[in-house]
Amino acid sequence: MKRLLLLLMLLAAPVWAVQPDEVLDDPVLEERARDISAGLRCPVCRNESIDDSSAPISRELRLMVRERLVEGDTDEEVIDFVVARYGEFVLLRPDTSGWNVLLWLSAPILLIAGLAIALVTVRRRGVARPAEGLSADEQTRLDELLKE
């Protein structure tokens, strides 16, 4: 029974992330805040959005997002403010322009290069090389060792 309760608590943990005192009175602003928060990464939890994270830094970020929205910032302005403060790492879906293109393309390029190297290596090993026999001195020495 305790395990079932623990499992249910772990599954429901992300639901508890946004505290009731954080929720805005205006449902439109709250929906915008949830959309923005879903796209921002928790700096502590790595691949968890600040909307799902219960870390204190995520709470601060959620409050900051809501505060900026109440002040009248657009969604882009809020995201730009958070990125300026924490860097592009905070974006769950980073931009695919500029230097980020290199990061996005490096994995497929390295995979193709690795496969090409593996293919060339396997083909070279598969080529039959003519067997070289032993020299007369080596054969004599081998015969002596085998007799002992």
Task: Decide: 88 and 94 in contact? Cβ < 8 Å.
Answer: yes
Task: Decide: 24 and 66 in contact? Cβ < 8 Å.
Answer: yes
Kindly give, in sequence order, each residue whose CB lies less than 8 Å from that of residue 64, ignoring residues fewer than 6 positions away.
81, 82
CATH superfamily of 2-90: Cytochrome C biogenesis protein (1.10.8.640)
Task: Decide: 14 and 52 in contact? Cβ < 8 Å.
Answer: yes
Task: Decide: 97 and 105 in contact? Cβ < 8 Å.
Answer: no
Give the chain's residues under pLDDT 50.
10, 13-16
Give the separation between CA 134 and CA 148, rounded to whole angstroms: 20
Task: Decide: 65 and 36 in contact? Cβ < 8 Å.
Answer: yes
The pLDDT assigned to 13 comes to 46
The pLDDT assigned to 117 comes to 95
Task: Decide: 45 and 54 in contact? Cβ < 8 Å.
Answer: no
Rg (CA), the chain: 31
The pLDDT assigned to 16 comes to 46
